[in-house]
Chain A
Amino acid sequence: MKAIQEFTKGIIKENPVFVMALGLCPTLAVSTSVQNAIGMGAAATFVLLCSNIFISLIKNLIPSKVRIPCFILVIASFVTIIDMVMEAYVPPLHKSLGIFIPLIVVNCIILGRAEAFASKNGVFKSMLDGLGMGLGFMLAIMVIALIREILGVGTILNIRILPASYKPMIAAILPPGAFITIGLLMGLLSILQNKKKSKA
């Protein structure tokens, strides 16, 4: 596979959220506003990129028996770093993401990529893979957040785009809105896939 494909596959074809249904908890929890979605996406991409690079570097030194604990240690360290850095430099964002920053540790996308990709491939490829998957994750949360913020508040990034007379559909930013939005989006994706298949 060409290097560029390692990067692009995570964004659409193997999108971690919509296609592989990984990392659902943060996706639904922080998609109440586009701002939160970008923050979460960026933090997770950073951790994914760093852990992929680091694990592909040390993959030959790790005995396979303690592979998973080692991966978790590496990931947890990067998560703690981003947690502290965000608290120091962007405290409001840190506050609104809350416990979902430390919970990046158990985001299955990151451990999944470490186990399935970084522990078997070189540094460069792992880097591209991490970046692609991270951006794919960010894209997915942003799409959901966009829909929920427009419907539920009538704004994008706190800028009003629907007229003030629009009565916000509050349910969209409450938990039910998250489930129903992702359900409908996944349904839409599978309609597209079914069409593609019937054409082929």
Chain B
Amino acid sequence: MDFSTLFIIIIGSIFVNNFVIHRFLGLCPYIGVSKKMDSALGMGMAVIFVMTMASTITWLIYTFFLNEATSIFGLDLTFLRTITFILSIAVLVQFVEMVIKKAAPELYKALGIYLPLITTNCAVLGVSLLNINENYNFIESIVNGAAAGVGFTLVLVLMAGIRERLEYSKVPRSMKGMPISFIIAGCMALAFLGFTGMKF
């Protein structure tokens, strides 16, 4: 296992190709759940968890059932990729919700309301598809899933921090709420542009 590849994937997914502001994945929660720091953190943790799990499971499904070369059926079923991935993510989220509810009620209290929202978070399906497109192996996929989740949490928490302060500042009436959030996101994206082209 080459650790420098993993390191590049981690830095790449958190900073350089940040899922939210570089790839535009997971914008709905980014704008919707970033009003308060607490909920941003809760959502972030839930997303890291689900993205890591989803990367693991979808990679296994793709490798052992869909991809002709490595499949146990020996059939090329790659065209069923989208439909199997979204279903397994939906099942996974439901399952995680049930397990957490039983095993860790405290955690469930904190994350519970965010879990159902994650099924339709395009970042989760996005990371599963990207892992396949980039030909990542098993370990790389898991690491990429976790790093993408961390990147998502990072910008979500940053955004929440800014928006909490924004409550006390004067914003033109028409720009209040969503419009000003997008402008802030734009400034953040400008800042993150500084990371592109980083070489190791």
Q: Do A and B come into direct contact in the complex, CB within 8 Å?
A: yes
- List chain A positions with a Cβ less than 8 A from chain B: 21-22, 24-26, 28-29, 68-69, 72-73, 76-77, 79-80, 83-84, 99, 102-103, 105-108, 111, 171, 174-180, 182-184, 186-188, 190-191, 194
Given A21-B31, A24-B31, decide whether A171 and B126 contact each other with a Cβ distance below 8 A: no
Most buried by B among A25, A83, A171, A180: A25
Contact residues, B9-37 vs A (CB, 8 A): 21-28, 31
B98 sits at the interface (CB 8 A)? no
A-B contact pairs, 28 of them (CB 8 A): A21-B28, A21-B31, A22-B28, A25-B26, A72-B87, A72-B119, A73-B87, A80-B80, A99-B130, A99-B133, A103-B125, A106-B120, A106-B122, A171-B190, A175-B22, A175-B189, A175-B193, A178-B24, A179-B183, A179-B185, A179-B189, A183-B181, A183-B183, A187-B180, A190-B174, A191-B174, A194-B173, A194-B174
Question: Do residues A108 and B22 form an inter-chain contact, with CB atoms below 8 A?
Answer: no
Partner of B182, one of A22, A84, A107, A182: A182
Chain A interface, DSSP helix/strand/loop, else mixed: helix
Residues of B within 8 A of A186 (CB): 178-179, 182
Question: Do residues A28 and B24 form an inter-chain contact, with CB atoms below 8 A?
Answer: yes
- List chain B positions with a Cβ less than 8 A from chain A: 21-28, 31, 79-83, 86-87, 90, 119-122, 125-126, 129-130, 133, 172-176, 178-183, 185-187, 189-190, 192-193
A182 to B180 alpha-carbon distance, docked (Å): 10
Residues of A within 8 A of B181 (CB): 183
Nearest chain B CB to A64 CB, angstrom units? 16
Other A-B pairs beyond A102-B129, A176-B186, 15, CB < 8 Å = A24-B27, A25-B26, A29-B23, A99-B126, A99-B133, A102-B125, A106-B119, A108-B28, A171-B190, A175-B192, A178-B24, A179-B185, A180-B186, A183-B183, A183-B186
Given A171-B190, A179-B182, decide whether A25 and B31 contact each other with a Cβ distance below 8 A: no
Question: Do residues A175 and B125 form an inter-chain contact, with CB atoms below 8 A?
Answer: no
Residues of B within 8 A of A29 (CB): 23-25
Partner of A25, one of B25, B119, B186: B25
Partner of A176, one of B23, B28, B189: B189
Residues of A within 8 A of B182 (CB): 179-180, 182-183, 186
A190 to B178 alpha-carbon distance, docked (Å): 10
A178 to B190 alpha-carbon distance, docked (Å): 11
Residues of A within 8 A of B90 (CB): 68-69, 72
Nearest chain A CB to B158 CB, angstrom units? 14
Closest A residue to B187 using CB positions = A176
Closest B residue to A185 using CB positions = B179
Question: Do residues A77 and B179 form an inter-chain contact, with CB atoms below 8 A?
Answer: no
Closest B residue to A182 using CB positions = B182
Nearest chain A CB to B58 CB, angstrom units? 12
Closest B residue to A179 using CB positions = B186
Nearest chain A CB to B79 CB, angstrom units? 6
Nearest chain B CB to A34 CB, angstrom units? 18
A80 to B129 alpha-carbon distance, docked (Å): 13
A177 to B153 alpha-carbon distance, docked (Å): 22
Question: Do residues A80 and B83 form an inter-chain contact, with CB atoms below 8 A?
Answer: yes
A175 to B183 alpha-carbon distance, docked (Å): 12
A8 to B34 alpha-carbon distance, docked (Å): 32
Question: Do residues B129 and A73 form an inter-chain contact, with CB atoms below 8 A?
Answer: no
Most buried by B among A68, A77, A84, A103: A103
Closest A residue to B190 using CB positions = A176
A69 to B90 alpha-carbon distance, docked (Å): 8
Partner of A183, one of B82, B125, B180: B180
